Amino acid sequence: MIPGLDGLRAISVLSVIIFHVDGFLFGFGWLGVQFFFVLSGFLITSILLRMKEKLPSKKYFYKFYGRRILRIFPLYYFYLLIILILVWLAKFPFLEPFRVELQTVVRPQLPYTFFYVYDFFYASSKYQPTAFLTHFWSLSVEEQFYIVWPMLILLTPKRKVKSLFLVTVILGPVCRYITYIIYENQIFPFLLPNSYLAILALPFSHIDAFAMGAYVSQFRITKPRMQLIIMAGLVPLLGYLSQYLAAGIIDINTLGYEFKMFTAYKFVWGYSLVNYLFALILYNVYQRKLFVRVLEHVILRYIGKISYGMYVYHVAIIYIIRKIIPFDISSPFYHVQFYLIVVLITIIISSLSFHLLEKPIINLKDKFFSLNPGRSEPYQEKI
């Protein structure tokens, strides 16, 4: 167990939830997803490099994917099964508020989620938002990372691993700019007309996030605390300045990084800056134990443990609560009240899911796909 990481997971998932509750008041909460990408690169790379040293290639893939499947698939497909059942039952009166969406929007999109290609559908002209599935684009990006990255790690000689990470970091903004050109010129008829949304969804856009997490898991950073202090000030400063110069406004609630990063070409450089800031936070927590006392608070640790379930369930919970519970939106306490109710219900459902479904299956990993890793750090498989 790496002290502090569950706390970081908790902060990230709570930020994403409050963004989905009200993106106007907490406009930078969506960046919690970006943190999870950096964290995935950090943890998975350490696991893969250790497995590469200890296992032949056949067992390397067999055990890695066996453990990933037991961790990710049960909850993922359980949720999709629930949605599939709701689609089948949509004609019944108790689902009347959701009938049209379930039958006309959700049903045609389900096949893309089953095969973890929802991010590509999200970036196509056929995409329609739905609270039941929309957030699954990021889970598709993660899964595609798990498919490609193990092969790259296995094929890259140990002396070239650093170069692999650095090249991938450079390719991130390049891929985002190429994607922008392709979408802006509508080179293919099936492309989503919103290039910024497509950039957000496609896996190529986030390769530098995974690579930066990978880098800080293996290599030292010079003066990490000083870098973190500088970047913590520089990142929002550049964000606000670019907003003002490009649009004549400063959106305080976004920290300068609005959803989809559509001002001042931030879709090219903004993701990279934010990714590096998150990588620095991870490095300081892991190597320097910065913020660990706060991050190890029992509540944050618990929320971090169930954060996967919270992410999977929360958007649908928000949508359903809005539909069935009348709220006085004119009340000055509306946003706080609604957020607390959403978080409480999400924690309850995710806790039940974790203890009744996920944990019993997670416990099978060492029985069927044992690694005997030796040291515990930075070996941690909770993402």
First and final C-alpha spacing in the chain = 13
Cα–Cα distance between 4 and 304 in angstroms, integer? 10
The predicted structure's pLDDT at residue 380: 45
CA distances 84 to 81, 89, 344, Å, are 5, 9, 25
The answer to the question of residue 382 being in a domain is no
Distance of alpha carbon 308 from alpha carbon 71, whole angstroms = 10
Q: What average pLDDT does range 299-327 have in this prediction?
A: 94
Residue 34 dihedral angles phi and psi, to the nearest 5° = -60, -40
> Are 19 and 311 contacting, i.e. CB atoms less than 8 angstroms apart?
no
The band of 374, judged by pLDDT with boundaries at 50, 70 and 90, is: very low
Residues 24-51 have a mean pLDDT of 94
Contact 103, 90 (CB under 8 A): yes
Phi, psi of 185 (to 5 degrees): -90, 0
CB-based burial of residue 11 (10 Å sphere; 0-12 exposed, 13-18 middle, 19+ buried)?
A: buried
Query: Is-contact 35 278, C-beta < 8 A?
Result: yes
In a domain, 373, yes or no: no
Residue 157 resides in a domain: yes
On whether residue 300 sits in a domain, the answer given is yes
CA distance 257 to 251: 9
pLDDT tens-digit readout, 202-259: 999 999 999 999 999 999 999 999 999 999 999 999 999 999 999 998 999 999 999 9
AA letter at 307:
S
Angle at the Cα of 55 (from 54 to 58), degrees rounded to 5? 170
Nearest to 181 by CA among 167, 196, 164: 196
Judge whether 378 lies within some domain: no
Which of 45-54, 171-180, 322-331 shows the lowest per-residue confidence on average (mean pLDDT)? Answer: 322-331
pLDDT of residue 30: 96
Of 213, 198, 179, 226, nearest to 12 by C-alpha is 213
For residue 236, being part of any structural domain is answered with: yes
**More confident position, 327 or 89:** 89
124: left (phi over 0), alpha (psi -120 to 50) or beta: beta
**By C-alpha distance, which of 118, 108, 112 is closest to 138?**
118
* Residue 87 structure tokens: 């689609």
Q: Is the dihedral of CA 146, 149, 154, 158 positive or negative?
A: negative
Per-residue pLDDT band for 323 (boundaries 50, 70, 90) equals confident
Is 60 exceeded by the pLDDT of residue 333? yes
**What pLDDT sits at residue 325?**
80
Chain CA centroid to CA 341, Å:
23
Domain that holds residue 39: 5-368
Please state the rounded mean pLDDT for residues 351-366: 96
Other CB atoms closer than 10 Å to residue 350's CB: what's the count? 25
For residue 14 the two structure tokens come to: 């709570």
Query: How many CB atoms are located within 10 Å of the residue 348 CB?
Result: 11
Distance CA 17, CA 201 (A): 18
381 domain residue, yes or no: no
Q: What is the pLDDT of residue 336?
A: 83
The maximal CA–CA distance of the chain, rounded, in angstroms, is: 63
Q: Which of 52, 43, 275, 34 is nearest to 150 (CA)?
A: 52
Residue 377 pLDDT: 41
Q: Is the pTM of this model over 0.85?
A: yes
Mean pLDDT of the chain: 93
- Pick from 3, 2, 17, 4: which is nearest to 307 by CA? 17
C-alpha to C-alpha distance for 248 and 227, rounded to whole angstroms: 30
Res 378 pLDDT > 70:
no
Instruction: Band the pLDDT of 382: cuts 50, 70, 90.
Output: very low
The b-or-e profile of 323-340 (16+ CB within 10 A means b, else e) is eeeeeeeeeeeebeebbe
Domain count along the chain: 1
3-state helix, strand, coil in the chain (%, to 5): 75, 0, 25
Average pLDDT over residues 94-112: 95
**For residue range 253-271, what is the model confidence (pLDDT) as tens digits?**
999 999 999 999 999 999 9
Could you give the CA distance from residue 351 to residue 341 in angstroms, rounded to a whole number?
Answer: 15
> Which pLDDT score is estimated for 371?
83
As beta bridge partners, residue 124 has 191
Query: Is 54 inside a domain boundary?
Result: yes
For 363, the token pair is 């416990």
Q: Is the pLDDT of residue 286 over 90?
A: yes
Provide the token pair at 244: 């003002």
